[in-house]
Amino acid sequence: MDLTLSPDQLDLRAGLVEFLDAQWTPERLRAGASSPTPDHDSWRRLSELGLFGVTVPESAGGMGLGCAEAAILCEELGRYLVPGPLVPSLLAADRVPGVLTGDCLVALLDRRDPTAVAEHLPNATHLVVIEDSGLLLHPVEGLKSVVAQQPLDPLTPVAVLAGPLGSGERIGSAQDAARWREVGAVLTAALQTGVARGALELATQYATERVQFGRVIGSFQAIKHLLAEALVRVDLARAAVHVAALTLDDPGAGDSAETVAAAKVLADDAAAANGRTCVQVHGGMGFTWEVLAHLYLKRAWVQQSAFGSADEHALGLAERLPDAMLQAEAE
Amino acid sequence: MQLRYTAAELAFRKALRAWLAETLPTVPPAPDRDDWSGRRAYDCAWQQRLYGAGYAGVDWPAEHGGLGASPTEQLIFLEECARMRAPGVGAGFVGLLHAGPTLIAEGTERQRARHLPGILRGEEVWCQGFSEPDAGSDLASLRTSAVRDGDSYVINGRKVWTSFAQVADYCELLVRTDPQAPSHKGISWLILPMETPGVQVRPLRNAVGSDEFAELILDDVRVPAENLVGAENDGWRVAMVTFSFERGTAFIADVLESRRLLQETARIARSSPGPRGEPLWADPGLRRDVGRLTAEVCGLWSLILKNVSEASAGRVPVQGASVFKLRFTENRQRIGDLAAQVLGRAALSVSDLPGADNSHIVEDRLTTLAYTIAAGTSQIQKNILAERALGLPKEPRWTSR
């Protein structure tokens, strides 16, 4: 049992961080937030890193790594607020041609969700519908949808399906659909952990610079405690996400139904609460479009609704609780 | 990252499990909460059994009589004991987890030879004399004085929150040996034999209604200078040394207990009728609350695994320990509130009522009031995280001296 990152995992993470640090500057996020044009160039660059093929076998052109590595990378993508259908691409890279190379953009819709609002559908080439019975692929061309004029998160365009879907092409079984739901929940939780961390870092930075009453505001206990609570949320969410990802990679090592739900609940809470903390610590500036605080909070809210809300996952945990025991290795 | 245990760790778990399965049925029922001599005898008897089986001082180095186990083996040991409901460390707490490791790190050969075997064998019980009525969160402001007189120190002052003082043989005592020095600099760490003349133990009733704590009144108490651990005036560092042994294992049994309490709450809610006759469990709001608390308990277990992994890699999980304590203590208090909500008016009694399994739940709810206070309040933990992990400015200090 070792939950520290291996040298390979640290290298993998460092490589992505170096790329994101150069590419996804606050200026770029601000620019993206004020112009809704899709940024195909940056998406292609992400694909050139091999990002979408993390869990795709090497024989199929991927990295052949596990959910654990995907989660480590997703945390950084969330931290830098990288926009785009990241989780759908990571899920679909091995079965929708063109996703691995960044040529195709996949939007997702889970039939369990009654509203039929899909993130990134306005820019997508394909829509994958997750049903209990399997995965269905639809080209976006010919789908009737209404694009939201002002999406909640300016970096996450959304559209609502406005007509019946055709039958679509079946690209996965019921088992695949169940797996997508689990992996999707964990990777979204990893993104949320990153959002929570990015919001904490931005707020902490501001608290060490902003002076009021002749002191930096980070010297006031009211602010210190807000930020300490935010740190607790990040660390708790990260630990839960890593354990969940590891149980998906190695089903014998734990009870994935439980660890996945716990990760989503804790990471959703961390992202939303830390987004609020980030706005609050910035005071009036936190309510401006200019400061990135609102983007963290809005991204958190978007991702809370993906792959099962915290409430749904909490109900699932409660149902299993009487029979569930903490994992101990079978003898 | 890897969740699986090694073959050696699995073998360790298996052997321990077999020993516990064989041994636990022969353990007598635990004594009453306030039967201090009974509790001491019971806890020491269990420690003797552990010693006989080679499980005493799992985390102590082998050259000092311990098992020299890795942090992961210690995790397995505590997890299995808690899972199979073995007696806890009880009266042995300060000796095994605090004073012993401090003597190993800082004591003289003579001090080690005198105390370590007795602690391991369950023959010697220690208590802790750190906090004072006027020195709680600000421990370094302690005022109990020790004045050198020939080859003795003469000690005067008061200590408080001293658990097991009624039945302890020794006390790890922090005293002020240099009243002129800045607060952290003038402190020394002394071994105080509890039967020394001038030591008075005054039981203190806690909010649960138990005499778990005591006050120590120290009136011209003479302690040999050879009982000094570490150098004179270096006691603050000596006291902090034990914290550097943090391996993330402190709350393993407690997290398992939190899970049990949640399971029990769910069980009671399934069999208790609500206001309209349907089971309480039919309320999705209640189930959501239970589920959210369960998610936290799962996350806390994951955090333990993270912290133990950090310790195995040779790092002290300081941040992890504060993070863990903040969330664990808050979570446990919320579990108690939720359990009381499910018990309804049966939660108005700390003793068992007919047909209600309430006593340990209500008692736990009261006991956990102390969790967010003891060993660094939640507010102090937040200061620690803000300053040490996030690099925010330190709290201003006003010295009253």
**CB-CB under 8 Å, B393 with A318:** no
**CB-CB under 8 Å, A262 with B1:** no
- In degrees, to the nearest 5, what angle opens at C-alpha A78 toward C-alphas A231 and A12? 100
Tens digits of residue pLDDT in B300-348: 999 999 999 999 999 999 899 999 999 999 999 999 999 999 999 999 9
The end-to-end CA distance of chain B, in Å, is 51
What six digits make up the tokens of A198? 């990015």
- In degrees, to the nearest 5, what angle opens at C-alpha A48 toward C-alphas A42 and A49? 100
**CB-CB under 8 Å, B295 with A314:** yes
Q: What residues of chain B lie within 8 A of the CB of A71, using their CB?
A: none
A10 has a pLDDT exceeding 90 = yes
Q: Are A95 and A172 in contact (CB under 8 A)?
A: yes
Q: How many CB atoms lie within 10 A of CB B314?
A: 7
A10 close contact with B: CB closer than 8 A: no
What six digits make up the tokens of A92? 């679909």
Q: What residues of chain B lie within 8 A of the CB of A228, using their CB?
A: 326, 381-383, 385-386, 389-390
* pLDDT number for residue B10: 97
Residues with Cβ within 8 Å of B56's Cβ and at least 6 positions away in sequence, in order, are: B47, B50, B65, B66, B67, B120, B121, B122
Q: Are A320 and A212 in contact (CB under 8 A)?
A: no
| Spatial distance between the Cα atoms of B204 and B213, rounded to a whole number of angstroms | 5
Share of chain B above pLDDT 90, in %: 93
Q: What residues of chain B lie within 8 A of the CB of A263, using their CB?
A: 299
Where is average pLDDT lowest: A81-85, A161-165, A232-236, A312-316? Answer: A161-165
B99 close contact with A: CB closer than 8 A: no
Q: Are A140 and A165 in contact (CB under 8 A)?
A: no
Where is average pLDDT lowest: A24-38, A215-229, B372-386? Answer: A24-38
How confident is the model over B372-381, as a mean pLDDT?
96
B400 has a pLDDT exceeding 90 = no
What dihedral angle (degrees, nearest 10) is formed by the CA atoms of A69, A72, A77, A81?
150
B266 close contact with A: CB closer than 8 A: yes
A180 has a pLDDT exceeding 90 = yes
Helix (H) or strand (E) holding A310: helix A310-320
B167 close contact with A: CB closer than 8 A: no
HEC string for chain B: CECCCCHHHHHHHHHHHHHHHHHHHHCCCCCCCCCHHHHHHHHHHHHHHHHHHCCCCCCCCHHHCCCCCCHHHHHHHHHHHHHCCCCCCHHHHHHHHHHHHHHHHHCCHHHHHHHHHHHHCCCCCEEEECCECCECCCHHHCCCEEEEECCEEEEEEEECCCCCHHHCCEEEEEEECCCCCCHHHHEEEEEEECCCCCEEEEEECCCCCCCCEEEEEEEEEEEEHHHEECCCCEHHHHHHHHHHHCCCCCCHHHHHHHHHHHHHHHHHHHHCECCCCCEHHHCHHHHHHHHHHHHHHHHHHHHHHHHHHHHHCCCCCHHHHHHHHHHHHHHHHHHHHHHHHHHHHHHHCCCCECCECCHHHHHHHHHHHHCCCCCCCHHHHHHHHHHHHCCCCCCCCCCCC
Q: What residues of chain B lie within 8 A of the CB of A311, using their CB?
A: 288
What six digits make up the tokens of B350? 């700390």
What six digits make up the tokens of A82? 């990288």
Residue B94, CA distances (Å) to B101, B180, B304 in order: 10, 30, 22
Tens digits of residue pLDDT in B206-246: 999 998 889 999 999 999 999 999 999 999 999 998 877 78
What is the SS3 assignment for A102?
Answer: coil
Q: Tell me, what DSSP letter sits at residue A96?
A: S
Unique residue bearing structure tokens 């003349």: B197
A37 has a pLDDT exceeding 80 = no
- B302 — phi, psi (to 5°)? -60, -40
The end-to-end CA distance of chain A, in Å, is 16
Q: A330: pLDDT confidence band, cut at 50, 70 and 90? A: very low
Q: Is the pTM of this model over 0.95?
A: yes
* pLDDT number for residue A327: 41
Nearest CA in chain B to A315: B288
Closest to A194 measured CA to CA, from A153, A228, A244, A234: A234
* pLDDT number for residue A328: 41
Where is average pLDDT lowest: A28-42, A79-93, B35-49, B263-277? Answer: A28-42
**B395 is a catalytic site residue:** no
**CB-CB under 8 Å, A221 with B395:** yes
| Spatial distance between the Cα atoms of B120 and B104, rounded to a whole number of angstroms | 12
How confident is the model over A264-281, as a mean pLDDT?
98
Q: B399: pLDDT confidence band, cut at 50, 70 and 90? A: low
* pLDDT number for residue A41: 87
* pLDDT number for residue A329: 38
Closest to A86 measured CA to CA, from A239, A237, A192, A202: A192
